[in-house]
Structure 1
């Protein structure tokens, strides 16, 4: 598959599957080859299980052949940060202290929602131990490097997911964010990272970071982030703090009228010492929104 096809968005892949121009197996196999050939420079992935991924992709391919596509993401490859429970793979959170067998046969709300919509899990992406810092390295997996310059960090704690998406190893990825763990690596790696309002995306088990910790999408396009939010925001009874589902049409909202929208901005929150270069960059961004 050409490099151009690896840069297709999830929405574009879905259309290609529906038209039978591409197959989920073809796409998954090519992305796995891409990971195999290039991840040695990045260390974005901590678990790849080609056989299981292709088995799930084959089931998706059969659904398309029967005209029975499942949900919004059928056949779409997704990178899963290794803090989300996946029934077929252990969840180790970058730590040597977790018994991987104890995490099997369980699903986080996010992976359960993705599964309902037919996703193809490509593997688990790296995280610092327990996702606790703004760079991605751990005693279990080592450091994750930035696709733009492997001598630099990918950021963290969702650095593996950010690097994988940025390097066109996956169109979509799951991340979590308490103090910037989606936003920092998204910024460092040049992708879209969204920290949703707390409770908008159900999360279980509860994070030790409490209400600071949110699950969210990491993608290469805003439309793909909206598509993921359409799926991830589905209700899950295991999260007692989740907001009632509002039926938001995230994709439709991208086409909405922005007139009358107001955005609050503070350059220092009244007390923070901000580097002048950062303050100028943020002020320029504020002007874009104002315009």
Structure 2
């Protein structure tokens, strides 16, 4: 009896590369599979703003030619990759989810896209995001609402919601994302995939995000190993970003370690006054138990992040105000109304108040540096809430109107620049994904990846697929 071949969408990028090298599959077949899944599923999810079938297949055919000539280009040759619509990419317009941007093709690549191109990636399309990446759900005046593949009535999170949904749907095994307050980790958690924010300065960013010192590009993938693969590409040196810091030669090669002896601070709520959904709390506690069984020294304690939400908002929303300051009233009428509201409010913030917020950011960096003298990693929920209804900035009956109130476990690490990863750790009773977050000291990216990899190896959830894909018969 012949063994059944796994569908391409169930395989990791690492596995697909092996099959490409063995001529068991072609890059064109992978590209066609990705495009077919977009055609079958994306009218329901709306993960992609734009695809270019001809361009995608042209790049896939070029990859196949290289494989036939034994002249492959690097780590991603022939692998389909989705690109968040915040990264410049030659031949594609960068719209940032806004009607105020121009619909004209970029003539240069953002550094991370350029690195992927050097490694032979096959771009499948541009993924949706909220306007200028300003909130943690994905809807915009330009592209409308993006939905969660696990439940179409729920949000995939944001701002990289289109990228996370694309990976969850099995369109691509890898996607480019950017994170200014959780924009990679929140949607990865809500969509049941892996999202990693590296130490700030590890991946070049030009432009990639509008939120400066809070932002860092990162990978979204179905497995930690695939995230490390894309990270090896994304962190290549680029002269366009003078802040770029050297990292290890290979994050993938560093995944062979384990968590034995690691000191892990298990913090169910980071010491903050926030209600964590009971199903989320139980799932993350299970992660703590698993890590202890693997030999880690797990201590329940809080890192005393502090009540810094207004501090973060000053840093984040003042940048939003700066982004729209050049637009007149008629142009501002085209903006997401809530973005216009926060931007106009924070436009009046004094330079003194902004500098006070930046001082508080540096003080938090110092506190966390000393905390990590005693603990290698922090474990906490990625998000305290379940994925909630689409078309909303906050969950139903939530006491606050801004997204920062329900995402207090992600944006502190954008203030400190620490590496943080979300990895799937369970599902709610009605089948919605839950993510656990590992945070490390600055420059401990490999250690963070190792811990997430160790957990994923003993508790893999990658075989479970969203009901949408089964209903579609693909």
- TM-superposed CA distance for 1:162, in Å, is 0.7
Match of 1:76 in 2: 79
After superposition, the C-alpha distances for 1:244-268 in whole angstroms (9 at most, x for unaligned) are x233421122111433333344444
Inter-partner Cα distance in structure 2 for 1:175 and 1:122: 14
- TM-superposed CA distance for 1:287, in Å, is 3.2
Q: How many residues align?
A: 288
In structure 2, relative to structure 1, the CA distance for the partners of 1:283 and 1:95 (3 Å cut) is same
Inter-partner Cα distance in structure 2 for 1:160 and 1:137: 10
Inter-partner Cα distance in structure 2 for 1:257 and 1:138: 42
Q: Secondary structure at the match of 1:149?
A: coil
Matched, 1:287 2:305: no
CA contact under 8 A between 2:86 and 2:209: conserved in structure 1?
no
Give structure 2 stretches of 5+ with no counterpart. 294-474
Inter-partner Cα distance in structure 2 for 1:147 and 1:206: 25
- What are the within-5 Å matches in structure 2 for residues 18-29 of structure 1? 18-29=21-32
Inter-partner Cα distance in structure 1 for 2:166 and 2:195: 13
Q: Among residues 176, 189, 193, which one is paired with 2:178 in the alignment?
A: 176
- What are the within-5 Å matches in structure 2 for residues 1-291 of structure 1? 4-101=7-104, 104-205=106-207, 207-243=209-245, 245-275=246-276, 277=278, 278-279=280-281, 281-291=283-293
Inter-partner Cα distance in structure 2 for 1:197 and 1:33: 36
> What TM-score results when the alignment is normalised by the length of structure 1?
0.93
Work out which of the two has the higher radius of gyration on C-alpha atoms and give 1 or 2: 2
After superposition, the C-alpha distances for 1:175-216 in whole angstroms (9 at most, x for unaligned) are 111111111111111111111111111111273322221111
Inter-partner Cα distance in structure 2 for 1:170 and 1:10: 8
Inter-partner Cα distance in structure 2 for 1:117 and 1:123: 17
Q: Secondary structure at the match of 1:123?
A: strand
Inter-partner Cα distance in structure 2 for 1:209 and 1:272: 26
Give structure 1 stretches of 5+ with no counterpart. none
- Provide the aligned C-alpha RMSD in A: 1.8
In structure 2, relative to structure 1, the CA distance for the partners of 1:24 and 1:289 (3 Å cut) is same
- TM-superposed CA distance for 1:269, in Å, is 4.0
> What TM-score results when the alignment is normalised by the length of structure 2?
0.58
- TM-superposed CA distance for 1:123, in Å, is 0.7
Q: Secondary structure at the match of 1:153?
A: coil
Q: Secondary structure at the match of 1:263?
A: strand
In structure 2, relative to structure 1, the CA distance for the partners of 1:271 and 1:22 (3 Å cut) is closer
Inter-partner Cα distance in structure 2 for 1:115 and 1:84: 13
